[in-house]
Structure 1
Amino acid sequence: MKGTPASPQCGFSRQACHLLDEHKIKYDYFDVLADENIREQLKKYSNWNIYPQLYVDGELIGGLDIMRKMIENGDFELKLQQLNIVQQTKDMRKYLESLINQAPLMLFFKGTSETPRCGFTKELINLLSKANITDYKTFDISQDENVRQKIKEYSSWQTYPQIYVNGQLIGSLDILKQLDEEGTLVQTLTGKQGITV
């Protein structure tokens, strides 16, 4: 835009700010009058010779007329909602990754190690205890339905418990049972050799 929202330097920029403010749309701005080089380069980049230029998530939407039309017919609100959904998805993915990486061995199941809330969880805890694996963290999926559903999408694994080692999905209880039968459970989960008796 030309100028700032507090001090627009042309009628089109003033109208654009007013329109965005009127519809309570949060925005940021760059005053193209502050840098002639950027002003000219942006025209070339966008193939749009007039200001203001409206960008949403790095994509040129257009100028004042297009902005006005999109706001009037609801397309602008839809675009912002889609952007919000994308951002929420990115935020959820980051949150899930932070949970998965809380510890080298991370378990997602119903309940806690002390009070398992399903047979599979209890069986998993017993298997880990038998293998003398005690260094892990857990997340109780029954306490957060959103995480419970989204981590299934994230991992493309529909069942619980889910076991992660160094941020990588190992699988569920059946996989751990198989690893135990093969004698590789301890090494897979801890990176250490198990003790053969």
Structure 2
Amino acid sequence: MTTQERIKEIVTTNPVVLFMKGTAQFPMCGFSGRAIQVLKACGVEKLTTVNVLEDDEIRQGIKEYANWPTIPQLYIQGEFVGGSDIMMEMYESGELRQMLTAAV
């Protein structure tokens, strides 16, 4: 299975996926930490996280998969949503909570 196939499988078989540096309990960068806080504030209980620091192929591959250069990256129902800045804007507008509620 190629890295791109692995990523596709992860994002299509889990309703909410965050590719991040570190884990939900121990984020390894401020942006990943903020992304987790935003998701918790939205009441997300069923979250799949992928620690890109544990897998260099995923770390590079996810940037190509979404054509997005930075991590974290949020996927809802297989769709790329964005990074931490976009997540924050969507959270403040209420749009993120609506997407998450519909997904779970």
Q: TM-score, normalised by structure 1?
A: 0.49
Q: TM-score, normalised by structure 2?
A: 0.90
Deviation at 1:130, TM superposition (A): 1.7
Partner of 1:162: 73
1:132 is aligned, of 37, 43, 65, to 43
- Greater Cα shift, 125-134 or 170-179: 125-134
How many correspondences in the alignment? 103
RMSD of aligned alpha carbons: 1.5
Q: Is the radius of gyration larger for structure 1 or structure 2? A: 1
| Unaligned 5+ runs, structure 1 | 1-87, 193-197
- Residue 23 of structure 2 corresponds to residue 112 of structure 1: yes
Deviation at 1:92, TM superposition (A): 2.7
Deviation at 1:142, TM superposition (A): 0.3
1:143 is aligned, of 36, 40, 54, to 54
Q: Distance in 1 between matches of 2:52 and 2:15?
A: 19
1:102 is aligned, of 8, 13, 22, to 13
Cα deviation, 1:61-118, whole Å, max 9, x if unaligned, reads xxxxxxxxxxxxxxxxxxxxxxxxxxx7xx3322121122231001100111111111
The structure, 1 or 2, with the larger RCO (C-alpha pairs under 8 Å, 6+ apart) is: 2
Deviation at 1:138, TM superposition (A): 0.5
| Unaligned 5+ runs, structure 2 | none
Q: Distance in 1 between matches of 2:88 and 2:79?
A: 18
Q: Distance in 2 between matches of 1:102 and 1:117?
A: 25
Query: Normalized per residue, which structure has more strand?
Result: 2
